[in-house]
Amino acid sequence: MDKPEVALDNCDEVYDFYLRHQQNRLAAKAAYGLLALKFRPRVTYADGAKEQVRALVRSDARLVLAVNHLSHSDPYTVAAAASASALRPAIGRTRVLAKDELFLEPKRRERVDLMGGIPVFRGKNHGMRAVNAAGQRMMDVCAERMRRGDDLAIFPEGTCNEEDPTRLQKIGSGIGHIMSRAVRLGVRPVLVYMGISYGPLPGKVARASVYLDNPVTEIPEKPADIARLVAAGLQRAVDGAVARY
pLDDT tens sequence across 189-230: 999 999 999 998 878 899 999 999 999 999 999 999 999 999
Give 136-184 pLDDT, tens digit per residue.
999 999 999 999 999 999 999 999 999 999 999 999 999 999 999 999 9
Beta bridge partners of 192: 65
The predicted model gives 29-52 an average pLDDT of 97
The predicted model gives 22-51 an average pLDDT of 97
How deeply is 201 buried, as exposed, middle or buried, from its count of CB atoms within 10 A (0-12, 13-18, 19+)?
A: exposed
Domains in the chain (CATH in brackets) are 8-243 (3.40.1130.10)
How crowded is residue 78: how many other Cβ atoms within 10 Å of its Cβ? 26
Number of continuous H segments (helices) and E segments (strands) in the chain: 9, 7
- Averaged confidence pLDDT in the chain: 96
Q: Is the pLDDT of residue 1 over 70?
A: no
Any idea what the Cα angle at residue 173 is, between residues 170 and 158, rounded to 5°?
55
Could you tell me the pLDDT band of residue 101, with boundaries at 50, 70 and 90? very high
Q: Is the pLDDT of residue 51 over 90?
A: yes
The predicted model gives 119-135 an average pLDDT of 91
User: Nearest CA to 82 among 33, 116, 142?
Assistant: 33
